[in-house]
């Protein structure tokens, strides 16, 4: 049975020349066994006729809020609840902008805003529109909402210019959906614990010892684990990154608070991913009052060592748990990562190097190597952190199947 059999799919079509490919996409989705409801924008109808789409889908195409002659109301809310997935292909720059910013001036965008299901977006536009900072920012926003972007390919465009902006081929869009449905329940029934972000160790009420971690990597891992069906608890140090939807977020400040939160969750978790950049030291006696400049005490702060969360909980691990740590290194990466695999009782260690351009803190990308207790070592190229998170989760699933 195909992973799309019986799935309810909303196919959203917006006003771009690539709408002609949506007919093939619709046909392939139907052939794969999906039930498809087409929602098309008014501009989309300039490119492709609703008659073709309704004939192929076996359902009237939805475009307006009302059917003009009968006054029948089309409920975007019901549609959003009906769908197992929504695919917007082609997605023009204008529709992407409206989706990113909640400008609900047509049936397709209102349906998008109501949809609780995963959303796949296949942009299609001219290369300069695709590269414009506005489009880039809007696509980034959609990613931050958890939408899946099916990247356009490079090639000849409708303008006859050559570049990035061609809507991905319908076969590949269907393959992306099939892959999603085939893997979305991989971790169903399992509990995952993820630590993320920095910890802040108070010196006084206005100052702290911290680090440059933003939590982006840990948040992306929490999101990826949730997408694969796990019930996720994310214990996070201070960060401005928006939390992924559908995870249980526990906010903490210091390493000792992070340890206490993790201790409560660790026993019942099946997977733990220690992504947090935990401060190694904390001031021994944080001042309750702001330390004044003239006080000599400010010249030296006595530090105590923080608990090592990964190592502490690694000591009381149970059978069936999979523990994953990170090693952010500047030198002797592999050697240090292998040492951490042992000393923290991990199954997998994710090595990244601050020496690699595009890797480490406060970037949207990362370049990782995963070393497994089973002896495997996988080297990955530089990727977007959400893709890196998916690679890590794939390795966790592989490890659990093969250990
Ligand atoms: N870690 C932790 N608690 C700490 C320190 C680290 O849970 N107090 C976890 C991190 O989340 C990461 C792994 O241990 O998964 C390695 O962290 P890292 O900072 O690279 O290593 P340290 O053990 O702190 O060693 P060093 O700073 O000497 O490299």
Sort 302 into a burial class: Cβ within 10 Å, 0-12 / 13-18 / 19+.
exposed
The candidate with the shortest Cα–Cα distance to 310, out of 351, 263, 264, 352, is 263
pLDDT at position 67, please?
A: 66
The pLDDT of residue 81 is above 80: yes
Is 80 exceeded by the pLDDT of residue 1? no
Q: Are 345 and 315 in contact (CB under 8 A)?
A: yes
Least confident of 52-66, 67-81, 85-99, 286-300: 67-81
Query: Boundaries of CATH 3.40.50.10300 in the chain?
Result: 191-402
**Residue 386 region by backbone torsions, left for phi larger than 0, else alpha for psi between -120 and 50, else beta:** alpha
Per-residue pLDDT tens over the stretch 321-332 = 999 999 988 888
Q: What is the domain class of 191-402 according to CATH? A: alpha beta
| Predicted local confidence at residue 144, as pLDDT | 83
> What is the structure's pLDDT at 296?
58
Give the residue, by CA position, lying nearest to ligand 1 atom 20.
327
d(CA 266, CA 322): 11
CB of 96 sitting under 6 A from ligand 1: no
Pairing outcome for strands 281-283 and 271-274: unpaired
Domain 8-183, what architecture? Answer: 3-Layer(aba) Sandwich (3.40)
| Residue corresponding to tokens 């006859």 | 160
User: 282 pLDDT exceeds 70?
Assistant: yes
Output the pLDDT for position 310: 98
Label the pairing between strands 201-204 and 191-196: unpaired
346: phi then psi, degrees, rounded to nearest 5: -95, 165
What is the arithmetic mean of pLDDT over 12-27?
A: 97
**pLDDT at residue 15 tops 90:** yes
Any residues with CB less than 8 A from the CB of 316 and at least 6 apart, and which? 266
Domain with CATH 3.40.50.1950 in the chain: 8-183
**What confidence score (pLDDT) does residue 68 get?**
61
Q: What is the pLDDT of residue 145?
A: 87
E-assigned strand segments in 14-139: 35-40, 85-91, 119-123
Strand duo 248-251 + 162-166: pairing: unpaired
Instruction: Please indicate whether residue 276, judged by its CB atom, sits closer than 6 Å to ligand 1.
Output: yes
Q: Identify the residue whose C-alpha is closest to ligand 1 atom 17.
A: 327
- Reply yes or no on whether the pLDDT at 75 is more than 80: no
**CA torsion sign, 124 to 119 to 243 to 347?**
negative
The first and second tokens of residue 386, run together, are 């959400």
Q: Is the CB of 221 under 6 A from ligand 1?
A: no
Counting ligand 1 atoms within 8 A of each CB, the residue from 277, 278, 305, 322 with the most, and so the one to mutate, is 278
Is pLDDT of 155 > 90?
no
pTM recorded for the entire structure: 0.82
Note the pLDDT tens digit of each residue in 86-118: 999 999 999 999 999 999 999 999 999 999 999
CA of 366 to the centre of ligand 1 (A): 18
For residue 401, pLDDT over 70 is answered with yes
């Amino acid at each position: 049975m195909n992973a799309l059999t019986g799935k309810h799919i909303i196919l959203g079509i917006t006003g771009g020349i690539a709408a002609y490919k949506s007919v093939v996409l619709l046909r392939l989705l139907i052939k794969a066994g999906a039930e498809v409801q087409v929602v098309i924008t008014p501009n989309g109808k300039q490119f492709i006729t609703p008659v073709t789409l309704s004939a192929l889908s076996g359902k009237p195409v939805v475009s307006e809020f009302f059917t003009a002659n009968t006054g029948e109301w089309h409920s975007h809310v019901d549609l959003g609840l009906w769908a197992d997935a929504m695919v917007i292909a082609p997605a023009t720059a204008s529709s992407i902008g409206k989706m990113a910013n909640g400008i609900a001036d047509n049936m397709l965008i209102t349906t998008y805003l109501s949809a609780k299901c995963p959303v796949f977006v296949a942009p299609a536009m001219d290369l300069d529109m695709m590269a414009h900072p506005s489009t880039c920012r809007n696509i980034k926003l959609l990613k931050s909402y958890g939408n899946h972007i099916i990247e356009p390919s490079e090639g000849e465009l409708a303008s006859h210019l050559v570049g990035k902006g061609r809507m991905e081929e319908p076969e590949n869009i269907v393959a992306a959906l099939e892959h999603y449905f085939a893997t979305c329940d991989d971790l169903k029934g399992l509990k995952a614990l993820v630590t993320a972000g920095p910890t802040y160790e108070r010196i006084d009420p206005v100052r702290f010892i911290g680090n440059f971690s933003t939590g982006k990597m840990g948040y992306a891992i929490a999101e990826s684990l949730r997408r694969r069906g796990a019930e996720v608890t994310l214990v996070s140090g201070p960060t401005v990154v928006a939390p992924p939807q559908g995870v249980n977020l526990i906010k903490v400040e210091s390493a000792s608070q992070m340890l206490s939160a993790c201790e409560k969750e660790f026993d019942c978790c099946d997977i733990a991913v220690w992504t947090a950049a935990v401060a190694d030291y904390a001031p021994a006696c944080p001042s309750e009052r702001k330390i004044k400049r003239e006080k000599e005490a400010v010249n030296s702060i006595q530090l105590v060592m923080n608990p090592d969360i990964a190592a502490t909980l690694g000591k009381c691990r149970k059978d069936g748990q999979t523990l994953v740590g990170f090693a952010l290194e500047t030198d002797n990466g592999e050697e240090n990562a292998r040492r951490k695999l042992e000393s923290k009782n991990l199954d997998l260690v994710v090595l990244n190097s601050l020496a690699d351009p595009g890797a480490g803190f406060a970037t949207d990308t990362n370049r990782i190597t995963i070393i497994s207790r089973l002896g495997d070592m996988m080297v990955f190229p530089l990727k977007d952190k959400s893709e890196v998170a998916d690679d890590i989760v794939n390795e966790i699933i592989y490890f659990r199947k093969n250990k």
